[in-house]
Amino acid sequence: MPMLGAILTPHPPVLLSEVGRGKELEIEATARAMGAAAAEVARWDPDVLIVSSPHTILYGDYFHISPGSSGVGSMAAFGAPQVRIEAQYDAQLRDEIVRRAQAAGLEAGTLGERDPQLDHGVLIPLSFLRRAGVVCPIVRMGLSGFSALAHYRLGRCVAEAVRALGRRAVFVASGDLSHKLRSDGPYGFAPEGPVFEKAVTETMASGDFLRFLTMDPSLCERAAECGLRSFQMMAGALDGLTVAARLLSHEGPFGVGYAVALFRVTGRNETRCFAEACEQAQRARLKERRDREDAWVRLARLSLETYVRTGQQLGSLPDDLPEELTGQAAGAFVSLHAGGRLRGCIGTTVPTAKSVAWEIVQNAVSAGTRDPRFPAVRADELEELEYSVDVLGRAESVDSPDQLDPKRYGVIVGYGNRRGLLLPDLDGVDTVEQQIDIARKKGGIRETDPYTLQRFKVVRHL
């Protein structure tokens, strides 16, 4: 069978003795499991490795697959330039994957390479595989900001290309787990971290890949996960195949979760085609959320959908809006998410329209079509969007960061005519320092500038 199996691996640089200089002994279970997984792959004797990494070039709206005939990388950035690997690329297989992905309507290809060097998410699993004698060519896959289902579908295109060319392939899904496991770790602690670890490692042990596709996006964001999209792509590459699943190790002594898992293909099983079940679960979740939307969010949705479908801004307000929307003015932000990831956010800190309702109407259109970080929302995306509306209270000056709270207050950092704003209670923003730093950078304000701070409360509508 062309897809022989897959391995799921972490990529902490300290795992290599040349980098760890003894610290690798603190994750010895991970090192042993990596060696065992590599030895198993060597016994499978693959023709090619498909390697996905969160640290390969990543775009929000494009799957980048590395071009050229080969790639070289080293661990010089981690103090070990002597650890150097060159890998040949299977260009024929890569081009077939790209062709099939584009035919399936996925935005994927070899354009936009910013750094041809092999990243550590590729280098670390390759180093263990090389030691085990696996020296075949690779295809190097990047992730994207697309949905779980899109990553799964790209993995399925990988398997189709492998079968078409008669390759014996192994998928290498590189990715750490949560970065929020310990308060003394480099990224701190979040209660969602251990919850994510339990869910994802249970999935690795069981081989029930549907759980990779249907995990709560907010939970994943707050857990600061690393490799889930890599695992989703791997699941797609094993679409319709029975696997013998083994979780070889799981630990997190540095506050970041590391797991090693092995999936050996044992036959075909059409009940393990998870795309349709994923779509059903996604539709059900979106319908449930949409059914709960209040008047603020329904108005934002109506405004953007009207503009995208007709090219015209909403001309009049619905008749049944509450007085809070039509009888007062306030600044408001409209945020859009797709697949659990930000798709646009634009707002105003003070009123610019005659009512909150009209503030939402104009800012919903701006969030969907004028956020410079994202392309304009397309009509075929509208059903997948999730909206939130934040109505801002009056901003007040504060004398010290001690008067801030990232869960309770938003912050405005100002210097001269520059201002950077960040809303409160955002996934991944857990400290005042993080909140100020992000807002400051959004405003183009240097850390050394004598900036001012303001705080404000919001009423959030979901």
Mean of pLDDT over the chain: 95
CATH 3.30.1490.150, applies to 393-462: yes
Query: What is the rounded CA–CA span in Å between residue 27 and residue 307?
Result: 53
The predicted pLDDT at position 285 comes to 86
* CA within 13 Å, CB half, 392: 27
At 330, phi and psi to the nearest 5? -165, 155
Q: Average pLDDT of 109-134? A: 96
* CATH class held by domain 293-391: alpha beta
The predicted pLDDT at position 218 comes to 84
The closest alpha carbon to 171, from 1, 371, 351, 5, belongs to 5
Residues 6+ apart with CB under 8 A from 438: 420, 422, 429
Q: CA-based Rg of the chain, rounded to a whole angstrom?
A: 24
**pLDDT over threshold 80, residue 339:** no
Lowest-pLDDT range of 70-74, 103-107, 337-341, 379-383: 337-341
Evaluate whether 408 touches 385 at the Cβ level (below 8 Å): no
Q: What is the number of other CB atoms lying within 10 angstroms of the CB of residue 247?
A: 18
Domain locations in the chain as residue ranges? 3-274, 293-391, 393-462
**pLDDT over threshold 90, residue 240:** yes
Query: What is the rounded CA–CA span in Å between residue 233 and residue 95?
Result: 17
Q: Which two tokens stand for residue 386?
A: 């999730």
Q: Which two tokens stand for residue 132?
A: 């085990």
The predicted pLDDT at position 429 comes to 87
Split at pLDDT 50, 70, 90, the class of 295 is very high
The closest alpha carbon to 170, from 50, 11, 90, belongs to 50
Residues 6+ apart with CB under 8 A from 22: none
Q: Which two tokens stand for residue 78?
A: 């981690």
Side chain identity at 185, as an amino acid letter? G
At the topology level, CATH places domain 3-274 in Protocatechuate 4,5-dioxygenase; Chain B (3.40.830)
Evaluate whether 453 touches 411 at the Cβ level (below 8 Å): yes
What predicted TM-score, i.e. pTM, was given to this entire model?
0.83
Split at pLDDT 50, 70, 90, the class of 300 is very high
Split at pLDDT 50, 70, 90, the class of 341 is confident
pLDDT in tens, 249-288: 999 999 999 999 999 999 999 899 999 999 898 888 889 9
**pLDDT over threshold 80, residue 1:** no
pLDDT in tens, 180-217: 999 998 888 999 999 999 999 999 999 999 999 999 88
Vertex 163: Cα angle to 159 and 165 (nearest 5): 120
**pLDDT over threshold 80, residue 33:** yes
